[in-house]
Amino acid sequence: MAVYLLCVIGTFLVRYLPLNIQYRLAETIGDLLFFLARRVRKNIYANITIVLGRKTDKITIERTVRKVFRNYMKFFLEVFRLPLLSKEDIDKITSAHGREHIEKALKRGKGVIVFSAHLGNWEYAAIVALRPYPTNVVMENLSYRKMFDFFRKIREAKGIRTIPLNRYAGILCEKALERNEIVAYPGERDIQKTGIPVNFFGRVTQIPRGTAFLASLTGAQVLPVYLVRKKDNSFECIIGPPVDLKTSGDREKDLLTNTQIIANVLENIIRRYPDQWCVFQPLWPEDSKIATLPAG
């Protein structure tokens, strides 16, 4: 409820404050949360420590965690501003590379599955990379309905449909792919706790099975898509070539193998931009073991 009210206030303020003031305010709020949100800071610290490596000095880790808070507040600011931006406005602050991979994959007629980490500005990524193609974004089914609707309406205003991550999500995704549409599926957060164990940054955790499972079921190609922030708060969107998934005839074995392959791609992306990776929940369990799983 409180977060939703802040979102409502934010969408009002961005209409009147100068943009440079908005970004300064976002950074200030990020700094405040870094000091006040102790439990969240602890979670991010644990995640970033694994990403950077346990031999990384404490000052570097804390500096990175603080940047994560700042970048997350900038993310919200930009979401608040999104309804005010035209296609031309978005084009001025973004550049995209690799859109030909999507065009080529769609020519196969089986739809396209894209995946990403919660990195940079993942809301803008869908708009920049995937337009003008029909796109469906799978989203966590937030317990507070007004918050879910807040994000859904912003997406729909830009021509993107939202599929709630519930027991019907798989069916809706499959039908969208049958219509030769794009499905954007969560990358690293196993929200439903039904994921596949993977070697991720050298430790065992679970990531969603949906991307690899849908690819096996439909024959759709799988592409990584992510959008990173530059120093001037403009963006670069990268659309990678299709991931080389394996097909052995053993669907269960392929699910394990291909989920690990997807984890490897995510790891390479996050490793390059750790301060833009905004996951506030512990991604590895407290008793996470050093990985004995193959890295793919």
> pLDDT digit string (tens) for 9-35?
888 888 999 999 999 999 999 999 999
Average pLDDT over residues 272-295: 79
| Helices vs strands, H then E, count in the chain | 11, 9
Mean pLDDT of the chain: 91
Residue 144 confidence (pLDDT): 65
Q: Is residue 145 part of a domain?
A: yes
Beta strands in the chain (DSSP E): 94-97, 112-116, 135-140, 160-165, 182-186, 196-200, 203-207, 221-229, 235-239
CA distance 139 to 162: 7
Q: Is residue 55 part of a domain?
A: no
CA distance 262 to 218: 17
Q: Is residue 160 part of a domain?
A: yes
pLDDT over 60 (residue 170)? yes
Residue 186 confidence (pLDDT): 85
Q: For the chain, how many structural domains are there in total?
A: 1
pLDDT over 90 (residue 266)? yes
CA distance 76 to 161: 20
Q: Is residue 6 part of a domain?
A: no
Q: Is residue 33 part of a domain?
A: no
Q: Is residue 292 part of a domain?
A: no
Residue 57 confidence (pLDDT): 96
Residue 222 confidence (pLDDT): 98
How many alpha carbons lie under 13 Å from residue 258 in its C-beta half-sphere? 27
The answer to which of 39-43, 190-194, 220-224, 291-295 has the lowest mean pLDDT is 291-295
Average pLDDT over residues 122-127: 85
Q: Is residue 76 part of a domain?
A: no
pLDDT over 80 (residue 176)? yes
Q: Is residue 239 part of a domain?
A: yes
Q: Which range marks the domain in which residue 224 is found? A: 87-276
Confidence of residue 124 (pLDDT cuts 50, 70, 90): confident
User: How open is the CA angle 235-241-242, to the nearest 5 degrees?
Assistant: 130
Domain with 210 in it: what CATH number? Answer: 3.40.1010.10
Residue 75 confidence (pLDDT): 94
